[in-house]
Amino acid sequence: MNILNGTEEPTSGDANFLGKDLITRHSECEDQIGVCTQEVILLEKLTVKETLEFFCYMKGVQRPELIIEENLERLNLQQQRDTIVAKLSYVEKRKLQLTIALLGNETRLVLLDEPTTGLDATSRREVWEAINRAKENRIILITTRHLDEAEALADRIAIVSNGSLQCCGNADFLKSRYGTGY
């Protein structure tokens, strides 16, 4: 994930996105990439609305007021609109971070690194619903340690161990090939 989001250099290999080398031409793709890291990284002194306005501006979103309302509703953050980020609960911060990653119609690649870490079951389901609703016209790459999450969200599941791809396919293919406990 860190290589794909441009925070680490690869030792080998390549990654292409919309015909561009994501490694060497990352800056040309940044406005089309949304990232939700494992760590909660937010601007603590802004309100939720100000945070979304800032990221709409950064992504060049036209008519941000409509996008902000839509995204507040997506993860049930409407009541926190005017709350300072530092005062949000951990769950609300995770939801806000995911909302930022999904912002804008031009975001075509969304990198979600363990997006439901630390969330309760109800919040996990809300996040899953938001991700599933956001799939259209996007590539969403998710890392997870939870098989039920991978099955609920993924069209294809890739299993990586020690940095190497072990297998890849849809859930039915993997179950038929490796059994239900794959």
User: What is the model's pTM?
Assistant: 0.86
Whether 83 is covered by a domain: the verdict is: yes
Rounded mean pLDDT, 142-151? 88
pLDDT at 182 over 60: no
Q: Alpha helix (H) ranges present in the chain?
A: 48-59, 64-74, 90-102, 121-133, 147-153, 171-178
Whether 112 is covered by a domain: the verdict is: yes
Whether 6 is covered by a domain: the verdict is: no
Least confident of 56-60, 88-92, 139-143: 56-60
Give the model's pLDDT for residue 163. Answer: 77
Calpha distance 101→96 (Å, rounded): 9
Least confident of 20-29, 64-73, 117-126, 142-151: 20-29
CATH number at residue 117: 3.40.50.300
Give the model's pLDDT for residue 180. Answer: 66
1 neighbors 111 (Cβ within 8 angstroms): yes
Note down the domain range covering 77: 16-143
Calpha distance 126→29 (Å, rounded): 29
Calpha distance 136→127 (Å, rounded): 16
